[in-house]
Amino acid sequence: MQSFDPNAIAGIGPLGPAVERTGIEIRQADPERVVGSMPVAGNTQSYGMLHGGVSCVLAETLGTMAAALHAGPQRRAVGVEINATHHRPALVGTITGTATPVHRGDTLATYRIVLTDDDGRTVCTARLTCLIRDLPRPSTAAREDEISAR
């Protein structure tokens, strides 16, 4: 599967240091489905299993990206609630997550994110709800400063 450049999507910039540190790669992104993966190696807890918090980082990254695609370039999506059920440990390999919509409204969007191991077994199921807000408009003073700087 070819890696996807999230910067190619209008309104979605760099995904941030947590995404870089965990090794998350976005594979597919459209309003109906966002798919990404990350290695288990480097993302484990003291027992050598994939850390549950890192599973949530992957789930929230994919769900928030899906909500941002739904919201459009003039709006921002931010996670306000996440829950996750960890079904089985992951010890090696790659975890792949798929985010699909449960509800997409004007102000709230909810996604189901299923994380699977290399054998296709479900490792974790998460649900993420995002608040969708308009981007702040520049203040009058900021616009005047911008105009005078030209």
Distance CA 130, CA 48 (A): 31
Q: How far is CA 19 from CA 13, 38, 124, 147, 150, in A?
A: 12, 9, 18, 36, 36
Whether the CB-CB separation of 4 and 26 falls below 8 Å is answered with: yes
Active-site residue flag, 60: yes
Instruction: Please say whether the beta carbons of 128 and 113 come within 8 A.
Output: yes
Q: Among residues 92, 84, 82, 94, which one has the least CA distance to residue 131?
A: 82
**Identified catalytic residue from 60, 81, 144, 146:** 60
How would DSSP label each residue in 108-138?
EEEEEEEEE-TTS-EEEEEEEEEEEEEPPPP
User: Hunting for tokens 């900021």 — which residue is that?
Assistant: 142
Residues tagged active-site = 60
